[in-house]
Structure 1
Amino acid sequence: MFENLNVWEVGALLLLALLIFGDRLPVVISDGLRMVRNLRNMARSATTDLSKELGTDIQLEDLHPKAFIRKHLLSEEDEQAIRKPLQGVYDGLRADVTGVHDELKDVANAADPRRPGPAPVSTASPAPAPRAVSYDDVT
């Protein structure tokens, strides 16, 4: 949650919290931590109750609708039947993307002047050299 905050931002948030809550800051922090613990316990008891009702072992991560359906409602044959038509499309798309990637690598290697190989042929005329600007031109 706080991965994107640097030291100064965290310090500013702590200072702001200290100004808002003052001497009550330790009490507010402990109340917040107690609330998080209670929410975890409620989630754990809900998954336990759901596991008992369904007769299977359910983890908290399994409560995501897609994961729940995949793990508890579909058999492996059903999942394979759903994946089979899409697998060919996926394989074809992956082959196309790999081909485009390889072609881009070839173009980049050909355009890189540090790499040996034939230099690209340019049909454009060279640009004229820039004219030097003197102090008299500006005034």
Structure 2
Amino acid sequence: MFDNLNWWEIGALLMLALLIFGERLPKVIGDGLRMLRGLRAMAQNATSDLSRELGTDIQLQDLHPKAFIRKHLLSEDEEAALRKPLQGLFEDVKSDLNGVKADLGDVAAAADLRSHRTPTPPPATTPPPAPAGPPATFDIDAT
């Protein structure tokens, strides 16, 4: 739970809790632990009630909708029948991606060959023509 906190941060949190709650800190910790035990008991009771209603053994991990449907509502034959059209689609997409990877490899190889050629010098440019007319005069004292 506290894997991403080091000892200094945990100590700072404890000091902050001591400053906020003062002498009531042990009572607050006890109330928090009691609430956590109550939540666990409620989850366990709900799981056991659901197991009793469905007539099967349900764990808390089985309450995920995908796992619940897979385990309790579908047989293995029904699951295989549902997966069969999607498996064909998956194989088609996989082969298309492999083709795209091959095409990208060819393009990268061609670009690599082009980069090893001797570069051609850029075409010579001529300077822009000077503006026609008398040269402009500037007022040196102007600011």
TM (norm. structure 2) is 0.64
Question: Percent of counterpart pairs with the same letter?
Answer: 66
The 5 Å alignment of 1:35-54 reads: 35-54=35-54
> Post-superposition shift, 1:101?
6.1
Q: In the superposition, relative to structure 1, how do residues 15 and 52 fare at CA in structure 2: closer, same or farther (>3 Å)?
A: same
Where does residue 67 of structure 2 map in the other structure?
Answer: 67
- 1:76 match: 76
Please name the residue that 2:132 is paired with: none
Q: 1:89 to 1:15 in 2, by over 3 A?
A: same
Counterpart in the other structure of 1:21: 21
Q: 1:3 and 1:122 mapped to 2: Cα distance?
A: 56
Runs of 4+ in 1 over 4 A off after TM superposition: 95-108
Q: Which of these two proteins has the greater Rg computed from alpha carbons? A: 2
- AA matched with 1:123: P
The alpha carbon displacement at 1:6 in A equals 3.1
Gapped regions of structure 2 (runs ≥ 5): 109-114, 122-143
Q: Pick closer, same or farther for the CA change 1:39–1:19 going to 2, 3 Å.
A: same
Q: In the alignment, residue 75 of structure 2 is paired with which amino acid?
A: S
The superposition leaves residues 70-94 of structure 1 with CA deviations (integer Å, 9 ceiling, x where unpaired) of: 1111111221121111112223333
Q: Name the count of aligned residue pairs.
A: 122
2:90 equivalent in structure 1: 90
Give me the CA root mean square deviation.
3.3
Q: Describe the SS at the equivalent of 2:84.
A: helix
CA distance in 1, matches of 2:25, 2:63: 35
* CA deviation vs aligned residue, 1:9-36 (integer Å, no higher than 9, x gap): 3222211111111122122112211211
Q: Which runs of 5+ in 1 are unaligned?
A: 109-118, 126-139
**TM-score with structure 1 length normalisation?**
0.66
